[in-house]
Structure 1
Amino acid sequence: MNRKGLKLAYLLAVLNAAIIGLSFLFTKKALGYAHPLDTLTYRFAASFAVMSIPVALGWIKLKYRGKPLYKALLLAAMYPLGFFTFQAFGLQAATSAEGGIMYAFTPVVTMVFASVFLKEATTVLQKLSISLSVFGVVFIFLMMGESIDLSNMKGIFLLFLTCLAFAGYSVLARSLTKEFSPAEIGYFTIALGFAAFLIVSLTGHAVSGTLDRFFAPIASGTFLVSIFYLGVMSSLFTTLTANYILSKMEASKMSVFTNLSTVVSMAAGAMFLGEEMTVYHLIGSVLIIAGVVGTNRFGRTGTSSASGRWKVNKRIEEGK
């Protein structure tokens, strides 16, 4: 594998985690002005509009003819449609802390999916490192006095589905990097996400007679800045780079970087919102970082998932 390409993939994975970690700050600000579905609509509208410029100017070439678009549709159904839909309704029935705890298990689910569908092999040390990273996140929330309320199974189940959706996306996107370019995957999923959220949001406002509320947030500069960050950086940039990362790195390795966003989110909260940073925050952060480093350091050398990519594509084609 091209060492330079792999180094760039690691750099982008860390950068993505930082961007996603900061996105929680901007999401809080945006939700102060608009309904969650409206926020998602504006978020993907910004993503779609910005990427459409280089596409229209011919700077980015997209070639979908003759390619398996049904696979791309399945990918978009997982992320962004499935992920954000399950997250929105899950957080209505559960707490944000429960969402954070459940999301921390995404690397574990991804590892299982990658093993089954891509035949990605992980060492014992990698499994322990992924578990260490997950434990770091859970440790922080538990020390904050948060826990999972098992009586609220509806919210917990929907939040678990977000893990399945993102893990499925990571595995399928890696398999599709042989048939689509990162730009083709990104533009297709973003366009579909924008169209779906726009239809749902406008339909909801039309039925309730509140279309004025849909357009009202545009008058706020804070909302527009937040949407620009969420749409261009947190959605568009991370989607494009994630597809590139998955073309260079195993899905199980990339997924563990998602837990780094917890560290960035805590740091941002302390710096910009005056939230308290305690010893257990630092301990949890060290565990998360150690888990990420271990997962990527203790992997098998010289392994390839090319046959795994072929197998998952074959299963999709056969409808299995």
Structure 2
Amino acid sequence: MKQSSPYKIYFLMFLATFFWAGAFIAAKLGVYDLSPVLLTFLRMGLAAVILFPILVFKQKQTWQLELSELKYVLATAIVGMIGYHLFFFTALKYTTASNASMINATNPLITALLATYFAGERLSIKKIMLLLMALTGVLYIITKGNLISILELDFNKGDFIMLCGTFLWAVYGILVKKIVPMMGPLKLTTYSFLFCAVLLLPFATYDFIKTQAYLVGGSPYLAVVYMAIFPTVIGYSIQQLAIQEIGPSKASLFINCVPILSTLLAVLFLGEAIYSYHFIGAALIIAAVILYNIGSDSRRPIKDGEVPR
């Protein structure tokens, strides 16, 4: 098979990063009119409808879900698709898209911390310092530059909800790392989306009727279509291609651009204000993640689901 130009792959990965960053903007627009449950159901359901034929076409002999795989799909669907996305959309009802994206950028480091417990990976002094550095960046953003206010619990609850969601996303990342060798990324992802939609169907139907979501305009539904197609399906496809062509380490570095692009898009399309504490906090978080990746022996392929979609 002919290898793609690395410059073409870099461009595609930047495009995928742009799509992932745009997910925060689309989600913020969506939560104005639709409930977190309904948004999660629609996004995952549409993504499953798109990915399922691709799965059947690419894995003609192995696309069926085996009974032994059911527990794995249920775990990833509940933790990563339902759990994370409910926190994600709920957080955006109370906090800004830029804050949410910066807090979410700590995911690789939280995953590394959890891996020391669940996977038995060693946590060196360097990693501990970088984790503390990233945590300081998050707290700096949450407290708007006044770290003392954390003692008074005076911070936006949306930021705290997003931090809880990021923790769940990290747990999902640990699960994915264990399960993907047994099922493959495409099969696991597709069925996780599908099971998420099926499990949420009764709750989403209730919300749809109760909130009269059928009366809202087309904008929130366009936001759902964007989230399902661009960051999820297209972003996933580009990500997997990049892992094959330039390797997981180089591909994962693009994730560090997500909070930067999300913040720029939030200023342009949502009119969000950016303050000095955003720059300082983001610099601490991104620097910690980059330094963690440099020279790390535990670098791993970024799997679908480890990037906000």
**Deviations for 1:219-274, whole angstroms, at most 9, x for unmatched residues?**
52x33431122112233455677789999769xx96x9766533222111223334
Equivalent runs, 1:44-193 vs 2, <5 Å = 44-55=44-55, 58-61=57-60, 62-65=63-66, 67-88=68-89, 95=95, 103=104, 106-143=107-144, 150=153, 161-193=164-196
Percent identity of paired positions between Structure 1 and Structure 2 = 19
Aligned equivalents of 1:226 and 1:87: distance in 2?
15
**Deviations for 1:55-93, whole angstroms, at most 9, x for unmatched residues?**
45x24542433643212211211111122234455677x
Q: 2:267 aligns with which of 263, 266, 270?
A: 270
**Contact residue 115 and residue 121 of structure 1 kept, 8 A:** yes
**Contact residue 30 and residue 224 of structure 2 kept, 8 A:** yes
**Residues 281 and 150 of structure 1: is their aligned pair in 2 closer, same or farther, counting only changes over 3 Å?**
closer
Match of residue 317 from structure 1 = none
* 2:183 maps to amino acid: F
**Contact residue 177 and residue 243 of structure 1 kept, 8 A:** no
Query: What is the CA-CA distance between 1:164 and the residue it aligns to?
Result: 3.4
**Contact residue 36 and residue 85 of structure 2 kept, 8 A:** no
**Deviations for 1:67-124, whole angstroms, at most 9, x for unmatched residues?**
43212211211111122234455677x6559867865654443222212222333443
**Residues 177 and 200 of structure 1: is their aligned pair in 2 closer, same or farther, counting only changes over 3 Å?**
same
Aligned equivalents of 1:287 and 1:161: distance in 2?
20
* 2:170 maps to amino acid: A
**Contact residue 41 and residue 200 of structure 2 kept, 8 A:** yes
**Contact residue 47 and residue 190 of structure 1 kept, 8 A:** yes
Match of residue 224 from structure 2 = 227
Aligned equivalents of 1:70 and 1:83: distance in 2?
18
Query: What is the CA-CA distance between 1:39 and the residue it aligns to?
Result: 2.2
* 1:120 maps to amino acid: E
Does residue 201 of structure 1 match 2:187?
no
**Contact residue 267 and residue 273 of structure 2 kept, 8 A:** yes
* 1:131 maps to amino acid: L
Aligned equivalents of 1:214 and 1:144: distance in 2?
38
Match of residue 215 from structure 1 = 214
Give the TM-score, by structure 1 length: 0.69
* 1:183 maps to amino acid: L
Give the TM-score, by structure 2 length: 0.71
* 2:137 maps to amino acid: G
Aligned equivalents of 1:170 and 1:10: distance in 2?
24
Aligned equivalents of 2:100 and 2:270: distance in 1?
20
Does residue 293 of structure 1 match 2:294?
no
Aligned equivalents of 1:13 and 1:150: distance in 2?
39
In the alignment, structure 2 segments of 5+ residues that lack a partner are: 301-309
* 1:266 maps to amino acid: T
> Cα RMSD between the aligned structures?
4.3
* 2:143 maps to amino acid: L
Query: What is the CA-CA distance between 1:295 and the residue it aligns to?
Result: 0.9
Aligned equivalents of 2:91 and 2:267: distance in 1?
26
Aligned equivalents of 2:8 and 2:124: distance in 1?
24
Aligned equivalents of 1:11 and 1:129: distance in 2?
29
Question: Matched residue pairs, number?
Answer: 287
**Contact residue 90 and residue 159 of structure 1 kept, 8 A:** yes
**Residues 24 and 100 of structure 1: is their aligned pair in 2 closer, same or farther, counting only changes over 3 Å?**
closer
In the alignment, structure 1 segments of 5+ residues that lack a partner are: 306-320
Aligned equivalents of 2:229 and 2:288: distance in 1?
29
Q: Is 278-287 or 238-247 further displaced after alignment?
A: 238-247
**Deviations for 1:135-174, whole angstroms, at most 9, x for unmatched residues?**
3343344346796563899988865542332111100101
Match of residue 303 from structure 2 = none
Secondary structure of the corresponding residue to residue 213 of structure 2: helix
Aligned equivalents of 2:31 and 2:158: distance in 1?
20
Query: What is the CA-CA distance between 1:40 and the residue it aligns to?
Result: 2.2
